[in-house]
Structure formats: structure tokens, C-alpha cells
């Protein structure tokens, strides 16, 4: 027997529609690429995204067509997300930090018909123009005065484009399974693969992500997504902020400590989210200038492991609660969040920190399991590590164009490529990526743990641990460090610092200091490159 409630499709357009009607006065603040602060409201954003919708339709863009966006977090980029997706086309976020060949590959693979871009990115596309023949035109997010000189063909000025249309437009009632947006994995191994979000997955993810124990977003929240809209669906913020009527602060392209600090304070931001490297820059700025964070209540850290020293600095020194989050492009992207349960409140702070360093509890909607190499489930004892597998309404079922073939196990779980343990509270602790795992004497050593411990030393700015061939143990850990500015720390001092903080047999066999470490386009350590760099390295222990 079926129930008798209305079967209304879950559509991304309903999010902006809701914000426009019920939070029409709420602000969206942007640091423009030109510098000045721009302010408008959800009423303006809704109206302008409908104008864009009509303009795109007039250009011949139809349901299912892919439209790329190559832009920083600004109000125009936000409108573009809604204008494109709202008409049933697919917003394809492009990461400007990708290598030119990768960018060309994904624009072409996704067969983008148009690319909407910031004026600063014209040069990047000029360089790959001959490799992206599906693109019929380039819409530049600028008004006439800021239009750049470019050799790109069929260039359209965004403000002129939307000014030619009124906002008299009703968002169509699409099938909720219709593709809403796409994002490619960064392709650290092989070509990037496309993940195609549905309208349904975006709305359900936004609902769950907004919950108090996840991002905790509401109409009294002022949220600043420093994480770019082009990184893994922008962590869903551009969806759940309008869903909850939150004020949004969009930082544009400036992510240095001083710029971020200025917006946090002047706009009274109380919730913000980004990868650890951004927070390192902010913490350094605060320290060097003897500043504090009077308005910020919570900072969400994810994308890479949040070091203990960072969590402690935010919480103990600045009174800002840290939410450690885990997710990935293939999950829309949030999978777990470390909001403590009431039962943990009485715990000793150092024990709480141990928990906060884990990647959080599973959230509603993302079922988790850990398995051994043969696919058998492993216990949730907080120690046994295995392949982290996920299943749920916002988990990928297959990659775009079927790349990679069948990607789910027989129970419908997707292998995240991460290695983790899960404790009896349901907290996930990542120990490695499967391809980065260090196997020593048949046991796994967690590179994430070692890296976190090393960066706990104030003279270490960044650390990476890779497995190096060892004739007796197969592999042993090599610690590669970048010293903090003006620091002089050497091998013995860092090893002494780590002694007692990690299991004895995990201790690195050697330490090397470098000027910088290789990173991916999403700011993660590029271990593959590092392993290539240290190929043939001979440890002093054999
Ligand atoms: P990329 O394209 O760079 O792989 P993703 O955002 O999809 O971008 O990366 C997801 C991966 O990032 C996860 O599978 C995991 O390995 C890593 N990751 C995400 N959050 C965390 C975290 N809090 N701690 C450690 N690693 C994380």
C-alpha cells in the first residue's frame, strides 16, 4: 500500500526559490576580483539566476547540456550554479589549479557547450582552445567595463547577457534524478573521472549537511565557504546556505590570512570551512599580529587531516570549535563530521582532542563499512583498519561515461580508496589512502598519524611520510619535512620529539628536509610524485 503524500521532485532550483521567497532580505557578500566588497540579497540572486536561465535557453542550452564554470567564489558564480542547474542543464565546476592538459581533458570529456569564467582565466583557456572544440562560447563573469582583452572566440559579457532578459521565468519541474552538476576527481592516478550529481542527491545532501551535528547551518548563521565552489561540490555550502537562509560571505580569490581575517571580522562570520592549508595561513596571521577571533564560533576543516596542533590552537587559544570533516568528490561530498556527542562532554580535553583528530562520525544518509582485502567486514573496535566503503543516496553509482566500469561491491558499497578504522561510537579514523599505505613486516603504518605528529612541532611547517623499500621489512617510513620560516630543526630533534607519541616500530627510519612538497590541484600532498622523487632512496637502516 502506497502512502498518499505529494510526490514533489527534490530539485536544486527549489533551494534558491525558497531563499528568494523566505529569506529575500538575507545578504550575500562578496570580495570581488577587483577588490571592493559587493553586497546583495537572496532576492537579487534569485532574480539574476532566472535572468541567466532565460539567457542560456536563448543561447540554445537545453536539458542535460554541460556548462562549465571556471571561477572563484563570488555572487556571479553562485548565480551561475542556479541558472544552469535550474533549467535542467549541468553545472560542471572546473578547477583552475589543474594542469592545462587536465583542464582540456575534462572540458572535452564532459563536452561542455559553454564555459562561464572569471576574467582572470581567459589566458588559461586561450592556451587550450584547440583541444576544447565542443565549447561554442565563453561567458565572462564581468560587466562591460571589466571585460578583458582576449583572443578567445565567441566571448560574451555576463552582465550584458543577463541584462537582455527579464526574470519572468518559472523553474521547470524536472525529474529529481536529472543530473544537476558534475565534478571530476583530481586524477592523481590515471585520467580524472567525472561524478554526476543528481538534483535529488544535492538536495538530500544539503538537508543532511545542514543538520546541527554536521555543519549546523541556519538563518542566524553567517557562513563563509573558503573552500572553492569548484572543489567537490563546494562541500554543499552553496546548496544548504540558501536552504537555511544563512548569510553567505564569498571570499573571491584572496585566501591569505589577512584577507580571510578581514572578512571573518568585518562580516561577523560565525561558521567557515576550508582545507588545513588555509587555516595554517590564518593561524600564522593571527599569531604574528596578535589578533583574536571574536565572532567566529566554528571552523570546519577537511580535505586533508587536521593536525592536532591546529585543532588545539583554534579551540584552546581562540575559543573556536573545530569540526573535522571527511568527504570526497564521489559523495557530494560530506561523509562524516566530528561533532562530539553529549556523552563525550565530560571527557578530559586531551581525550576529546584524540577524538577530534578522527575524521568524525558517520552522518545520516551515508552508510559505512570497513573491509579486509577479500571484502569481509571488519569490527568497529577503533583499531582494526580496512578499506572504507560507503553507500547512500548521495554516493556515486558509476563514473561519467562508465569510466572505470562497475565500481560498487555486491552490497552496493563504493570503495573510497581510503583506509580507516571505526570505533564503537561510529567515529572514522583515516590512516591512509590505500595507494599510500606503508606496509612494514606485513603490518600497516599510518602515514597520516606520523605526519600529524611531526607537524605538532612548531618548527615543522609541513610533513609527508612515504614508504621506502627495505630488504627486511618490505617498506619503512621516510619522513619528508618542510621547516617553518627561520627554523633550523634537524633530524635528531624531530625524531626525539616524535618518540613516545607514536608506536616505536612506526618511527621513521630517516628524515629529509626539503624546500617544498608536491601538492595536487585540491591542495593535498601528492605522494605519487614524492615517491617518484625518492625512488631508489637508500635508508640508513639497511
Ligand atoms: P581529490 O580530487 O583531491 O581526490 P577529493 O575531495 O575528492 O579530492 O578527495 C577526497 C579524499 O581526500 C578522501 O578520499 C580522503 O583521502 C581525503 N580527505 C578528505 N577529508 C579528509 C580528512 N579530514 N582527513 C584526511 N583525509 C581526508
Q: Which residues pair with 184 in a beta bridge?
A: 194
520 within ligand 1 shell (Cβ under 6 A): yes
Does 330 participate in catalysis according to the annotation? yes
* Ligand 1 atom, smallest distance to 360 CA: 23
Residue 402 φ/ψ, nearest 5 degrees: 70, 15
Instruction: Find, among 142, 174, 193, the residue nearest to 414 by Cα.
Output: 193
CA–CA distance, 430 with 432 (Å, rounded to integer): 6
Q: How far, CA to CA in Å, does 239 sit from each of 201, 242, 246, 440, 541?
A: 11, 6, 11, 44, 52
* Ligand 1 atom, smallest distance to 185 CA: 2
Instruction: Find, among 325, 230, 321, 222, the residue nearest to 265 by Cα.
Output: 222
CA–centroid distance, 7 to ligand 1, in Å, is 35
332 within ligand 1 shell (Cβ under 6 A): no
Predicted local distance difference test score (pLDDT) of residue 187:
65
Does 435 participate in catalysis according to the annotation? no
CA–centroid distance, 325 to ligand 1, in Å, is 10
Does 444 participate in catalysis according to the annotation? yes
Predicted local distance difference test score (pLDDT) of residue 438:
92
* Ligand 1 atom, smallest distance to 188 CA: 4
The ranges assigned to domains in the chain are: 13-197, 436-533
Parallel, antiparallel or unpaired: strands 361-362 and 367-371? unpaired
CA–CA distance, 376 with 387 (Å, rounded to integer): 10
First to last CA, the chain: 70
Q: 13-197 — its CATH code?
A: 3.40.50.12780
CA–CA distance, 93 with 33 (Å, rounded to integer): 18
Nearest CA to ligand 1 atom 24: 305
CB neighbours (10 Å) of residue 229? 25
Does 85 participate in catalysis according to the annotation? no
Cis check: omega of the bond before 333, within 30 degrees of 0:
yes
Q: 436-533 — its CATH code?
A: 3.30.300.30
Cα radius of gyration rounded to whole Å, the chain: 23
pLDDT along the chain (542 residues), means of 10: 97 98 98 97 98 98 98 98 98 93 96 98 97 98 97 98 98 98 81 95 98 97 98 97 98 97 98 94 95 98 93 97 96 94 88 94 96 97 96 98 94 96 95 89 89 93 94 93 94 95 92 94 88 92 80
Q: What is the residue-wise DSSP string for 5-74? A: S------THHHHHHHHHHSTT-EEEEE-TTSSEEEEEHHHHHHHHHHHHHHHHHTT--TT-EEEEE--B-
250 CB contacts (<8 Å, ≥6 apart)? 28, 29, 30, 31, 73, 74, 75, 77, 78, 224, 225
Predicted local distance difference test score (pLDDT) of residue 255:
94
- Kindly name the residue from 91, 93, 185, 522 that is annotated as catalytic: 185
Predicted local distance difference test score (pLDDT) of residue 165:
98
- Kindly name the residue from 341, 439, 443, 541 that is annotated as catalytic: 439
CA–CA distance, 277 with 273 (Å, rounded to integer): 12
CB 82 within 8 A of CB 56: no
The residue with cell 536552504 is 243
CA dihedral 14, 328, 228, 292 (to 10 degrees): 110
- Kindly name the residue from 330, 451, 462, 475 that is annotated as catalytic: 330
Q: At what angle do helices 199-210 and 13-22 cross, to 10 degrees?
A: 50
pTM here is 0.94
The three cell numbers of residue 88 are 535542467
525 within ligand 1 shell (Cβ under 6 A): no
CA–centroid distance, 243 to ligand 1, in Å, is 25
The three cell numbers of residue 168 are 519572468
326 within ligand 1 shell (Cβ under 6 A): yes
What is the separation of C-alpha 402 from the centre of its chain, rounded to a whole number of angstroms? 24
The residue with cell 576574467 is 119
CB 496 within 8 A of CB 454: no
Amino acid at each position: 500500500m502506497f502512502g498518499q503524500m505529494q510526490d514533489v521532485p527534490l530539485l536544486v532550483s527549489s533551494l534558491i526559490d525558497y531563499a528568494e521567497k523566505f529569506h529575500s532580505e538575507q545578504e550575500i557578500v562578496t570580495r570581488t576580483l577587483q577588490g571592493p566588497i559587493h553586497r546583495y540579497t537572496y532576492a537579487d540572486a534569485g532574480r539574476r539566476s532566472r535572468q541567466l536561465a532565460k539567457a542560456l535557453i536563448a543561447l540554445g542550452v537545453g536539458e542535460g547540456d554541460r556548462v562549465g564554470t571556471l571561477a572563484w567564489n563570488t555572487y556571479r558564480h553562485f548565480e551561475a550554479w542556479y541558472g544552469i542547474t535550474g533549467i535542467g542543464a549541468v553545472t560542471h565546476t572546473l578547477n583552475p589549479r589543474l594542469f592545462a592538459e587536465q583542464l582540456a581533458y575534462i572540458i572535452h570529456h564532459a563536452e561542455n557547450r559553454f564555459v562561464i569564467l572569471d576574467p582572470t582565466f581567459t589566458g588559461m583557456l586561450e592556451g587550450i582552445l584547440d583541444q576544447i572544440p565542443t565549447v561554442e562560447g565563453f561567458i565572462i563573469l564581468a560587466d562591460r567595463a571589466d571585460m578583458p582583452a582576449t583572443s578567445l572566440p565567441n566571448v560574451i559579457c555576463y552582465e550584458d547577457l543577463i541584462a537582455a532578459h527579464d526574470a519572468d521565468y518559472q523553474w521547470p519541474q524536472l525529474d529529481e534524478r536529472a543530473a544537476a552538476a558534475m565534478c571530476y576527481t583530481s586524477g592523481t592516478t590515471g585520467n580524472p573521472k567525472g561524478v554526476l550529481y543528481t538534483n535529488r542527491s544535492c538536495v538530500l545532501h544539503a538537508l543532511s549537511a545542514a543538520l546541527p551535528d554536521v555543519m549546523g547551518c541556519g538563518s542566524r548563521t553567517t557562513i563563509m565557504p573558503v573552500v572553492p565552489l569548484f572543489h567537490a561540490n563546494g562541500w554543499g555550502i552553496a546548496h544548504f546556505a540558501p536552504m537555511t537562509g544563512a548569510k553567505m560571505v564569498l571570499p573571491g580569490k584572496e585566501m591569505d590570512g589577512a584577507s580571510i581575517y578581514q572578512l571573518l571580522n568585518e562580516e561577523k562570520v560565525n561558521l567557515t570551512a576550508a582545507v588545513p592549508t588555509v587555516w595554517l595561513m590564518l593561524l600564522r596571521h593571527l599569531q604574528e599580529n596578535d589578533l583574536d577571533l571574536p565572532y567566529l564560533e566554528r571552523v570546519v576543516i577537511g580535505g586533508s587531516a587536521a593536525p592536532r596542533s591546529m585543532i588545539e590552537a583554534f579551540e584552546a587559544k581562540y575559543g573556536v570549535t573545530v569540526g573535522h570533516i571527511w568527504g570526497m568528490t564521489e559523495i557530494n561530498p560530506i561523509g562524516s563530521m566530528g561533532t562530539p556527542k553529549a556523552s563525550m562532554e565530560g571527557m578530559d580535553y586531551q581525550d576529546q582532542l584524540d577524538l577530534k583528530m578522527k575524521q568524525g562520525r558517520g552522518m545520516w544518509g551515508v552508510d559505512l563499512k570497513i573491509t579486509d582485502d577479500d571484502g569481509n567486514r571488519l569490527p568497529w573496535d577503533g583499531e582494526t583498519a580496512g578499506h572504507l566503503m560507503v553507500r547512500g543516496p548521495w554516493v556515486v553509482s558509476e563514473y561519467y561515461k562508465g569510466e572505470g566500469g562497475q565500481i560498487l561491491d555486491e552490497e552496493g558499497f563504493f570503495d573510497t580508496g581510503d583506509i580507516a578504522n571505526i570505533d564503537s561510537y561510529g567515529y572514522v579514523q583515516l590512516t591512509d589512502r590505500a595507494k599510500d599505505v606503508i606496509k612494514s613486516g606485513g603490518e600497516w603504518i599510518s602515514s597520516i598519524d606520523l605526519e600529524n605528529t611531526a607537524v605538532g612541532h612548531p618548527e615543522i611547517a609541513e610533513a609527508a611520510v612515504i614508504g621506502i623499500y627495505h630488504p627486511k621489512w618490505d617498506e619503512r617510513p621516510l619522513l619528508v619535512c618542510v621547516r617553518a620560516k627561520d627554523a633550523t630543526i634537524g633530524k635528531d630533534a624531530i625524531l626525539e620529539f616524535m618518540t613516545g607519541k607514536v608506536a616505536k616500530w612506526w618511527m621513521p627510519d630517516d628524515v629529509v628536509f626539503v624546500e617544498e612538497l608536491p601538492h595536487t590541484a585540491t591542495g593535498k600532498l601528492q605522494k605519487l610524485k614524492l615517491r617518484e622523487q625518492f625512488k631508489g632512496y637508500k635508508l640508513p637502516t639497511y
